Amino acid sequence: MTSDIVEQPQIDQRKNSPALIEIKEEFSDRVEDWLEAYFQYEVTTSASSRQVQRRDLNLFLDFMRVEEKDDHRGRWTPRLSRAFQERLHSEVDEKSGKRRYGERTINRIMAHLKTFSKWIHKLRPFPLGNPLAKLKLLSVGHGLEVERAVTAGERRRILDVADFLLKNGGISTSRIRYAGKERPQRKGYRPYRNRAIVYVLLGTGMRRAAVTKINVEDVDLVKRTISVVEKGGVMQRYQVSQEAVRAIQDYLQQEREQDEEVWRSRSLFLGAHTIVKGNGRLSAWAVNQIWNDICHEAEVEGKTPHSARHAMGKHVMEKTGNVAAVQRQLGHRNPAYSLQYSRITAEELSRVIDDQ
């Protein structure tokens, strides 16, 4: 193999930082080495996403070593890729006796592998062509996200409970200790913050992880926008509902200052200063807990913070009928993800059929 240098001029267009991958004569051309180069030069997602990608790609690497007794790039063929997909589909858990991987999980693994093989093929073509170029993902059910969206009634109940937090949120549950007295609110409870978080989730459609990344300077209360780093490291600007803007203003005026004095953090939503550990910025787990507590009080079951995102996509589609509008608000790179919100739910279809 002769020495050559392959230039990839725009590995990360968001950073505008061209990178060179030098492939020397002694380069082993093993898939394992390509995998390390891939994460060094190409992958720019969050640490948690990188962990999932690496786990998925290592599944294939292990499979290849067992099947081919080697992980040299030249042994990676289209047939090997199909065999790996079939292995995932047929693998059974010994304890439960059930399939180890569902269709969606298999599709995620194959999608990561497809991106990886395409990157390698661009730098050094495979002998038999890109081994995943013609491989099709598995067909899965089409209930899709629109079926899991928060309904109009659920949204109303969730926001009502969020509003009631200002009066009764975090009230001590000790009836014996405060018998005959007005029970106080827990010292570290933040009703205005929790209310604002729920309003932002329902009023923008952003992911829960993005809520934790919002900085004060990212919020434009005049233009009603929030700019935040979303999934994949992409900066997304969300349009914000008027009621969500008012909830943020209430939080800034009533609560945030007391915690900011201690944490000195840029984060919009701060943890209570009574918390011993941390840096002031809430975790995705905390956002999830806030949402779940409010949903429990609102008697809304089976809905997650992501259900609020689906509700926003459905709402924008119903009001505009424009896929591009959904794509712009939710930041979808692929319009196919936005198009799913034009689907009608089974419940809605039943009402339409009955209304004759």
Please give the angle made by the CA atoms of 94, 96 and 98, to the nearest 5 degrees.
90
Q: How far is it, in rounded angstroms, from Cα 36 to Cα 48?
A: 17
Task: Say what the pTM is.
Answer: 0.62
Q: Is the dihedral of CA 89, 90, 95, 96 positive or negative?
A: positive
Tens-digit pLDDT string for the chain (356 aa) = 343 433 333 333 333 333 445 555 556 789 999 999 999 989 988 888 899 999 999 999 999 999 999 999 999 999 999 999 999 988 888 777 778 888 889 989 999 999 999 999 999 999 999 999 998 877 655 445 567 899 999 999 999 999 999 988 877 666 566 666 666 778 889 999 999 999 999 999 999 999 999 999 999 999 999 999 988 788 999 999 999 999 999 999 999 999 999 999 999 999 999 988 889 999 999 999 999 999 999 999 999 999 999 999 999 998 998 989 999 999 987 777 788 787 766 667 677 677 66
Q: What is the DSSP string of 165-216?
A: HHHHTTB---TTTTTTSPPPBPTT--HHHHHHHHHHHHHH---HHHHTT-BG
Q: Six-digit token pair at 99?
A: 């399939």
- 89-93: Cβ within 8 A, 24+ apart: 89/138
Among candidates 106, 73, 76, 75, which has minimal Cα distance to 89?
A: 106
Please give the angle made by the CA atoms of 14, 15 and 17, to the nearest 5 degrees.
130
Structural domains in the chain, CATH included, are 4-123 (no CATH), 145-354 (1.10.443.10)
Q: How far is it, in rounded angstroms, from Cα 136 to Cα 111?
A: 10
Among candidates 104, 187, 150, 127, which has minimal Cα distance to 315?
A: 150
Q: How far is it, in rounded angstroms, from Cα 24 to Cα 32?
A: 16
β-pairing, 225-229 with 235-239? antiparallel
Identify the pLDDT of residue 26.
53
Q: What share of the chain is helix, strand, coil (3-state, %, to 5)?
A: 55, 10, 35
Q: How far is it, in rounded angstroms, from Cα 261 to Cα 265?
A: 9
Among candidates 137, 134, 140, 151, which has minimal Cα distance to 109?
A: 137
Q: Which residues contact 206 (CB under 8 A, 6 or more apart)?
A: 200, 226, 228, 230, 236, 238, 309
Identify the pLDDT of residue 142.
45
